[in-house]
Amino acid sequence: MQKNIAVIGLGSMGYGMAQSLLRAGHTTFGYDIDAETTQRLQDEGGTVGTLAEVADTLDAVLVVVLNALQTENVLFGSDGVVGRLKPGAVVMACATVAPDFARQMATKCEKAGVHYLDAPISGGSVKASEGALSVMASGTKDAFAAARTVLDATASTVFELGDCAGTGSAMKAVNQLLAGVHIAAMAEAMTFGMTQGVEPAQFVEVISKCAGTSWMLENRAPHIVAGDYTPHSTIDIWPKDLGIVLDVAKSAKFGAPLTAAALQQFLAASGSGLGAEDDAAVAKVYARNAGLTLPGDT
């Protein structure tokens, strides 16, 4: 059944999700602070209309922004969308946030008569554009029912992790701990290999077929080999995401030293002016410190 759906935040993930919704035949509105990106989606079939004009017609709102602050502002800020939605509409919140924050947003949405699905996503920009994301979701049965059409169009795997918001965000924190550590570990291993005469291309060829591989290694290491740091996920994502992991760990009185070490490398990369580059650029920190020259560098 065709639905009226708004995607707020047309970055690499949100834009791909909007494209997937369009392919599935839904009336799709897209909004981003970059007017050119919004226009590009409209040129590809997105429906024209301001959020204020269409909010009361929407069946679902996907919030695919950077962080908790932006999520709350979209939902409950001075121009917040929740107060304009019709009863029974669903908010599908996809940013990486702390579990307590997700629970707070769910409570506020419920009071407004709107469903809230805690639905962080994983899979990268390619899978987003293919409608093949993994969604770590939690929420009430009614929230899942209201979001089902959106999930069908944007995800190949939906993990239903419980009937309360927060569990999805907890699982995403676990995922981001591993993903961030794996990227930093890949960069460390590749540049360590370079000190021993192992070329980056040879590293990828061999290690991707050995026990030391990871999804992040296989996905990100080729960016270094190509010397192409066009961002699919930026360096600056990781101080935020790994910061959330450490905040949650602190509240649980849980030590997470590997996360802390990886965070320091991403902070060093960001502080070196690499924040907007692909997160594989964390390898440049290791290369600089060791006096190495990565592919594409002069």
Span 148-163, pLDDT tens digits: 999 999 999 999 999 9
Contact between 256 and 249 under an 8 Å Cβ cutoff? The reply is yes
pLDDT of residue 1: 83
Alpha helices in the chain (DSSP H): 12-23, 35-43, 51-54, 68-76, 99-111, 124-130, 141-154, 167-195, 200-207, 215-226, 237-251, 257-269, 283-290
Give the Cα separation of 224 and 206 in Å (integer).
Answer: 15
The tens digit of pLDDT for each residue in 22-69 reads 999 999 999 999 999 999 999 999 999 999 999 999 999 999 999 999
pLDDT of residue 148: 97
Nearest to 123 by CA among 215, 22, 48: 215
Q: Work out the average pLDDT over 97-115.
A: 97
Structure tokens at 266: 């991403």
Instruction: Indicate which residue of 127, 172, 209, 250 is catalytic.
Output: 172
pLDDT of residue 155: 98
Q: Which domains does the chain have, with CATH numbers?
A: 4-165 (3.40.50.720), 169-290 (1.10.1040.10)
Contact between 155 and 248 under an 8 Å Cβ cutoff? The reply is no
pLDDT of residue 9: 97
Q: Phi/psi zone of residue 208: left (φ > 0), alpha (ψ -120 to 50 degrees), beta?
A: alpha
60-63 and 4-8: which strand pairing? parallel
Nearest to 122 by CA among 81, 155, 89: 155
Catalytic site includes residue 172: yes
Give the Cα separation of 172 and 166 in Å (integer).
Answer: 10
Q: Please indicate, yes or no, whether the overall pTM of this predicted structure exceeds 0.75.
A: yes
